[in-house]
Amino acid sequence: MQRGTITKYTAFQPIDLPDREWPSKTISQPPIWASVDLRDGNQALAIPMNIDEKIEMFELLVRIGFKEIEVGFPSASDTEFNFIRRLVAENRIPSDVTLQVLVQARDHLIRRTFESLRGVPQAIVHLYNSTSPVQRRITFNKSKEEIKSIAVEGTRLVKSLVSTIPETNIRLEYSPESFSDTETDYALAICEAVMAEWEPTESNPIILNLPATVEVATPNIHADQIEWFCRNLKERKKAIISLHTHNDRGTGIAATELGLLAGADRVEGTLFGNGERTGNLDIMTVALNLYTQGVDPLLDFSDLERIRAAYERVTRMAVHDRHPYAGDLVFTAFSGSHQDAIKKGMDARSQATDEDARWEVPYLAIDPEDIGRDYEAIIRINSQSGKGGVAYILGKDFGLELPKALHPEVGTVVNAAADKGSRELTPDEVFAVFHKEYVNLKSPLELISIEREDFSKLGEVKVEAEIRYNGEKMKVAGTGNGPISAFVDALQVKGWKDFTLLDYRQHSIGAGSKTKAAAYIQIQRVGDAAYFGCGIDPSIEMAGLQALVSAFNRAHQPRP
């Protein structure tokens, strides 16, 4: 790498557009979506899809709701050609779906492309040729006029061939390839020349696709290019302006969104951004970005897990753990403060009575349920996790409604276990740590059995319990206004009561015949700290007694 003054690279020259309007606009409706997974995405695979895999991908795209699908480059290979023929032969093309085919502006390729389209109800012939200075000079060694002639002559041939397949409604899409790196006024001139040859109408417009074949500048410059083009295009109402961004600078999504603000009508892209080099635009992300702003994208990603699984199967590509919306970890919080905020947001959401209430959960831009994901993986536990995350896991996965005062110390105990192992803990491991530290503890005091006798109309009871204390089995008895207070009295009779009860809570876990009770008791030992214990038992009475015994045992454990 060069240091200091960089001479190998120069900054892209901005567009002269001082009165630009796009920064003050918002996107209030979805664009026309066009999937290029079967062409641009497929050509970027180490192992391209076979015909059966292409059919699976095509049907997936149809289910999602794409109405324009670029199915390939039929003049490039027999596989591409035969795929289209099989779609026709097996009547797999829905009446409201338009097939799009890509072709260079070369005579024999255009003719072969038309052969592939026989019997297709509706088709877009996507014609392109490279227009950038680098391409003109290095790849083709042609002048601006020669490059424009290629585009016009290709358009003329497409127009002449339309009548050869009268059963097919043909529309034209033209791309000045590398529009992002082409002089904007020159790209405009070529597109207007193509329009003049094609003669579109407002009811049957041409598609002018303006590809950022290679990202060369920041997204705001791309937006300026699009706005300038839209402003200066003659007969603007006779053209659909389409975007096709790549991700070389990592800003393909931003460039697309700003391009829509700048006046574009249509977007080409792929699922999860698969494409050449760093990839194409990720249509899923842009669509769900719109959804989180209250705009119906008219694409169905409500079963995103299934979509991802199908995509990974046919492309042999993996969706990254941090991929927006679809990654394994995007709804996961390890940070304690994040976990606590998410838990509070989820709790507030669960209490809302209006099903259409606004989604307001900290750190989560979208409700995972809207895209077919669940809450189980939202909070994950490692040494950075906090009280809210641990409480959330125990509540969501195991039905334990821990008292608020218990959250911090449980978080500390679980985090210490994660830190000791230097790894993330699974929900089952979190529960195991909690159970070992708090639930139904048996040392130094173990409650073996207990019998109660109600002997007063005031609710007083007598209990007789069989216990083991410091390894010695014995019986104890006491009275009180309930079994817990009676058992405390029994401990006092033995001289073991060196605490006061601070808190008692209980709730049920599960439903039906498998219902259990969970109880939590906090005691304050004289001259010492407060200690919680938890009891879990089919009997709510026994759960409370086990919670008391567990709290007693935690208070009397040897401390380092």
298 lies in the same domain as 208: yes
359 lies in the same domain as 259: no
**Of the residues 383, 414, 438, the one at which a domain ends:** 438
Q: Domain for residue 6, yes or no? A: no
78 lies in the same domain as 145: yes
Q: Domain for residue 376, yes or no? A: yes
Q: Which two tokens stand for residue 423?
A: 């790894």
Helix (H) or strand (E) holding 57: helix 51-64
> What confidence tier does 341 reach under pLDDT thresholds 50, 70, 90?
confident
45 lies in the same domain as 111: yes
Rounded mean pLDDT, 380-408: 78
pLDDT for position 206: 98
For residue 468, give every residue at least 6 positions away whose Cβ sits within 8 Å of its Cβ, in sequence order, or none: 442, 445, 446, 448, 474
87 lies in the same domain as 124: yes
Rounded mean pLDDT, 110-119: 97
280 lies in the same domain as 397: no
Rounded mean pLDDT, 233-261: 97
Instruction: Count up the domains in the chain and report the number.
Output: 3
Contact 483, 541 (CB under 8 A): yes
> What confidence tier does 342 reach under pLDDT thresholds 50, 70, 90?
confident
Rounded mean pLDDT, 524-542: 92
Q: Which two tokens stand for residue 49?
A: 């899809």
pLDDT for position 542: 94
Peptide bond into 14 cis (omega under 30): no
Share of the chain residues as helix, strand and coil, in percent rounded to the nearest 5 = 40, 20, 35
Q: Domain for residue 26, yes or no? A: no
Q: Domain for residue 18, yes or no? A: no
The answer to whether residue 386 scores a pLDDT higher than 60 is: no
136 lies in the same domain as 166: yes
254 lies in the same domain as 287: yes
CA–CA separation, 560 vs 553, rounded Å? Answer: 15
Q: pLDDT per residue over 145-196, tens digit each?
A: 999 999 999 999 999 999 999 999 999 999 999 999 999 999 999 999 999 9
Q: Domain for residue 93, yes or no? A: yes
Listed in order, strand segments (DSSP E) in 98-157 are: 98-104, 122-130
429 lies in the same domain as 486: no
Q: Domain for residue 17, yes or no? A: no
Mean pLDDT, the chain, integer: 92
The answer to whether residue 387 scores a pLDDT higher than 80 is: no
**Of the residues 315, 344, 361, the one at which a domain ends:** 315
Percent with pLDDT over 90 in the chain: 78
CATH number of the domain that residue 168 is part of: 3.20.20.70
Contact 184, 228 (CB under 8 A): yes
Neighbouring CB atoms inside 10 A of 275's CB total 26
For residue 494, give every residue at least 6 positions away whose Cβ sits within 8 Å of its Cβ, in sequence order, or none: 476
DSSP one-letter string for 309-346: HHHHHHH-----TTSTTTSTTTT-B-SHHHHHHHHHHH
For residue 498, give every residue at least 6 positions away whose Cβ sits within 8 Å of its Cβ, in sequence order, or none: 525, 526
Q: Say which range, 284-288, 417-421, 439-443, 500-504, has the weakest mean pLDDT.
A: 417-421
CATH number of the domain that residue 499 is part of: 3.30.160.270
Q: Which two tokens stand for residue 177?
A: 């390839």
pLDDT for position 455: 74
pLDDT for position 382: 58
Percent with pLDDT over 70 in the chain: 96
Within the chain, how many helices (H) and strands (E) appear? 17, 14
DSSP one-letter string for 240-271: EEEEEEB-TTS-HHHHHHHHHHTT--EEEEBG
Strand order in the sheet with 499-509: 499-509, 516-525, 530-537
pLDDT for position 384: 58
Domain region containing 136: 33-315
Q: Domain for residue 210, yes or no? A: yes
